[in-house]
Structure 1
Amino acid sequence: MVNYPKDWGKIKLSELMTPYNGLSGKSGNDFINGNEKYINYLSVFNNTVIGSATEKVNIYHGELQNIVNKGDILFTQSSETAEEVGMASTYLGDEKVYLNSFCFGARKKREFDSLFMVSLLRSKAVREKISKEGQGSTRYNLSPTRLLNIEVTMPKDVDEQKVISKTLLSFDKHIENLTKLIGKKKMIRDGAVEDLISGNSRISTFSGEWINNKMKNIAVINQGLQIPISSRQTYKTKNNYLYITIEFLKENNGQKYYVENPPTNTVCNKDSILMTRTGNTGQVVTGVAGVFHNNFFDIKYDKSKIDKSYLYYLLISKRYNTEIINVAGASTIPDLKHKDFYNISINYPKDIKEQKLIAKILMSMDKDIENLEREKEKYIQLKAGAMDDLLTGKVRLV
């Protein structure tokens, strides 16, 4: 139980703000050549602060649509999961904008700091309250009345709210700057992959020939093992192996499975290169040991002809990844067949030293990106800790 400061107070959101609806009665044609800007659902969901809008919708003369005011609190109203409804943001721009459907806004009845309010509404404790208010089976909906009936505890002094929000905003700014820098460096890395893997840019110390060869001449592939969930283990032992599935590729995937006594040809090590052959075809994994799922190919390459890291970057390059996806087919579930993989022609330097140096350059760029991503994650964790301290009054700034 949180012991809030005595000069903080409990209050229902309905005492602080009045709700209004987003756009209604709009057809697809209204969004084609719109005359007024509107804030879309994803902007509300993804951002704590919205400063502008670019998308447009037709608003007709005499139509009763609500214009968003500066400082209004905006909420997502409908989502596929209860955890995503009621995500809050605030509009701090100066231009006239409207709010999209599947969202609703709330206008101040009493003075409070909008940035503080959004941080409070996105805090873990309040998010737990909000998510419980979502209703539905296949899709969750949140009525403004149910959300604004929630009670929160906050500083009565608006100046203290502003100091807290300013501190949390400094974390957001740093995280945003890191996100932009990471994105920029990834674009540069992707461009370097295309230039170096294609041979359009050569390393000055090399001038040897490049080889065009089919995959069947440099690699052998085999599929992995399909194990029903009921037969998987959820804990690590001395004798079992990590089970590498499609879920393994998802960020922040916390569930791990393990397999005991697998066939040896389905076991991979950290030098192996795995590639998804069906579903989300063409995703490449390396640097992991375990047992790979039937949705993967294990690519056993000829180390005398091609360097592992060079092959990895070749497979993730836009040129070859696009070809892999195309040959897998455009059906509901794309499926890369053995013969189609073997028939893919690739270009690579004959001198394996050039391959290694190309890979080294690209690995250095990836290392730089990884360091920035670690720094970003560190600040995300620091902000989470600061939110817990500042939004409960454990730490006071005034």
Structure 2
Amino acid sequence: MWKQRKLGELGSTFTGLTGKTKEDFGHGDAKFVTYMNVFQNAVASLEQLDSVEIDPKQNEVKKGDVFFTTSSETPEEVGMSSVWKYNYDNVYLNSFTFGYRPNIEFDLDYLAAMLRSTTVRKKITFLAQGISRYNISKTKMMDIEVPVPSLEEQAKIGAFLSNVEQTITLHQEKLSKLQSLKKAALQFLFPKKDEIEPKARFTNFNDIWKQRKLGDVTPLRGGSAFQSSQFKKTGIPIVRISNILSDGFVGGTYAYYQEQKSDEGYVLYDGAIILAMSGATTGKVALLKDRTNKKFYQNQRVGYFTDLGIVDYSFISIVVQSFLFNVQLKTVLVAGAQPNISSKEINDFKFYFPINKKEQAKIGAFFKKLETIILLYQTKLDKLQMLKSALLQKMFI
């Protein structure tokens, strides 16, 4: 049977570092748990500790302690918890969080998951107070009720969720390495600024590279101004700026439109390369990779790099995602103004292209394979995170 118990009945709070100035940090034989360590990790990380001098007057953290952030810019980020699972001397807590020391035994993996579950987070968020910055009271936090099953059941839940978390971490690390590999490959397989050939080339290719305007090989096409009042629940999905995701692919929630008879000027198909032309993500390039729909419609302020067949299209995809594209993009974005770019500006960007289409295809195929693997790991990671979220919701009602 699961009992609901108040945090105040199960433990007591303690303060973080006090009486310190900025000159006291960055040196010394003691460590302290940083604010971001608490904020980012359900279980505190040993890699996010900073140095401070040993001070017997401060509260040392102990294995089993829980840390809570006390303030943030949004109520949803107040009271983020982090569990300390280690036995180390002379480790303190930063002054922007407070500590909680249970007086009963918890399985620490269970405790970490439970305190970050949707159910408990809603209770904590409800207590956040403020206008421009939100804070939370330690006293009110201690009145929050949390589920406390038997220690045996906690251990089973904790072990299961810990395995899921370890799998997620493993996929995140692999994904990060693949993204770093892609970034490094872009540096080597494309000419740097003021150079006409890349550092590395595939074997049997030594033809020259020629500079061309982007608009001469893949002119950017604008979209159509679809009326939001005519959006449907089904029909042809519309690619809007919000569908250009940070991972470099098109996705998210679509609006739908009734299929039009003459749609050649704004229709998109699987494999299209698109660009955000205004808003916070201006200049962000994404690949449309979705075979569940036969076609898509292109909204206004979403650009499409048209395929004229002059340059291998997979190579175009790499060019517009390269650091060289971003360098030229910065020259047309006005600092402090609402981000906005035109087709003409993009079409005037200049790049070096290999004149040999087989070399274009070789480079494009290399990155396409790499992106397929990245997408595979990203999809697995998304599914694991959805699984974890669903499990937390069902376990902690």
TM-score, normalised with respect to structure 1: 0.82
Cα 1:60–1:169, aligned 2, differ >3 Å: closer, same or farther? closer
Residue among 256, 260, 275 paired with 2:254: 256
Q: CA deviation at 1:40?
A: 2.2
Report if the CA contact (8 A) 2:11-2:100 is conserved: yes
Report the 3-state secondary structure (helix = DSSP H, G, I; strand = E; otherwise coil) of the residue aligned with 2:283: coil
1:278-289 residue pairs with structure 2 within 5 A? 278=278, 279-287=280-288, 289=296
Q: Which string of whole-angstrom CA distances, capped at 9 and with x for unpartnered residues, describes residues 254-284 of structure 1?
A: 5533466798645544454322234433210
Residues of 2 paired with 1:16 and 1:253: CA distance?
Answer: 45
Residues of 1 paired with 2:392 and 2:215: CA distance?
Answer: 55
The answer for the alignment partner of 1:276 in structure 2 is 276
Report if the CA contact (8 A) 2:222-2:304 is conserved: yes
Cα 1:43–1:254, aligned 2, differ >3 Å: closer, same or farther? same
Report if the CA contact (8 A) 1:268-1:292 is conserved: no
Residues of 2 paired with 1:24 and 1:227: CA distance?
Answer: 58
Residue among 31, 34, 37 paired with 2:31: 37
Residues of 2 paired with 1:375 and 1:34: CA distance?
Answer: 41
Residues of 2 paired with 1:95 and 1:368: CA distance?
Answer: 43
The answer for the alignment partner of 1:179 in structure 2 is 172
Report if the CA contact (8 A) 2:17-2:93 is conserved: yes
- Asked if 1:318 corresponds to 2:323, the answer is yes
Cα 1:41–1:73, aligned 2, differ >3 Å: closer, same or farther? same
Report if the CA contact (8 A) 2:66-2:101 is conserved: yes
Residue among 67, 74, 85 paired with 1:81: 74
TM-score, normalised with respect to structure 2: 0.82
Q: CA deviation at 1:327?
A: 3.8
1:119-130 residue pairs with structure 2 within 5 A? 119-130=113-124
The answer for the alignment partner of 2:347 in structure 1 is 342
1:179-328 residue pairs with structure 2 within 5 A? 179-198=172-191, 199-224=198-223, 231-232=228-229, 235-238=232-235, 241-246=237-242, 248-249=244-245, 255-258=253-256, 265-278=265-278, 279-287=280-288, 289-294=296-301, 296-304=302-310, 306-328=311-333
Q: CA deviation at 1:286?
A: 2.8
Report if the CA contact (8 A) 2:240-2:299 is conserved: yes
Amino acid of the structure 1 residue aligned with 2:208 = E
The answer for the alignment partner of 2:13 in structure 1 is 19
The answer for the alignment partner of 1:161 in structure 2 is 154
Amino acid of the structure 1 residue aligned with 2:91 = V
Residues of 2 paired with 1:82 and 1:253: CA distance?
Answer: 28
Q: Kindly tell me the number of residue pairs found equivalent between the two proteins.
A: 378
Cα 1:384–1:61, aligned 2, differ >3 Å: closer, same or farther? closer
Unaligned 5+ runs, structure 1:
393-398
Cα 1:374–1:342, aligned 2, differ >3 Å: closer, same or farther? closer
Q: Which string of whole-angstrom CA distances, capped at 9 and with x for unpartnered residues, describes residues 41-83 of structure 1?
A: 2221221212415453656868x54332222111122223322
Report the 3-state secondary structure (helix = DSSP H, G, I; strand = E; otherwise coil) of the residue aligned with 2:112: helix
Cα 1:61–1:105, aligned 2, differ >3 Å: closer, same or farther? closer
Report if the CA contact (8 A) 2:244-2:276 is conserved: no
Amino acid of the structure 1 residue aligned with 2:65 = D
Report the 3-state secondary structure (helix = DSSP H, G, I; strand = E; otherwise coil) of the residue aligned with 1:118: helix
Residues of 2 paired with 1:139 and 1:234: CA distance?
Answer: 37
Residues of 2 paired with 1:225 and 1:96: CA distance?
Answer: 62
Report if the CA contact (8 A) 2:34-2:50 is conserved: no
Q: CA deviation at 1:339?
A: 4.8
Cα 1:152–1:366, aligned 2, differ >3 Å: closer, same or farther? same
Residues of 2 paired with 1:84 and 1:376: CA distance?
Answer: 23
Residues of 2 paired with 1:61 and 1:125: CA distance?
Answer: 38
Residues of 2 paired with 1:274 and 1:14: CA distance?
Answer: 54
The answer for the alignment partner of 2:357 in structure 1 is 352
Residues of 1 paired with 2:243 and 2:18: CA distance?
Answer: 38
Unaligned 5+ runs, structure 2:
192-197, 290-295
Cα 1:375–1:243, aligned 2, differ >3 Å: closer, same or farther? closer
Amino acid of the structure 1 residue aligned with 2:121 = R
321-330 or 334-343, which deviates more: 334-343
Amino acid of the structure 2 residue aligned with 1:300 = T
Residues of 1 paired with 2:245 and 2:274: CA distance?
Answer: 11
Residues of 2 paired with 1:204 and 1:253: CA distance?
Answer: 37
The answer for the alignment partner of 1:396 in structure 2 is none
Residues of 1 paired with 2:158 and 2:360: CA distance?
Answer: 51
Report if the CA contact (8 A) 2:237-2:254 is conserved: no
Q: CA deviation at 1:225?
A: 5.1
Residues of 1 paired with 2:52 and 2:58: CA distance?
Answer: 11
135-144 or 323-332, which deviates more: 323-332
Amino acid of the structure 2 residue aligned with 1:303 = G
Report if the CA contact (8 A) 1:48-1:89 is conserved: yes
Residues of 2 paired with 1:354 and 1:382: CA distance?
Answer: 42
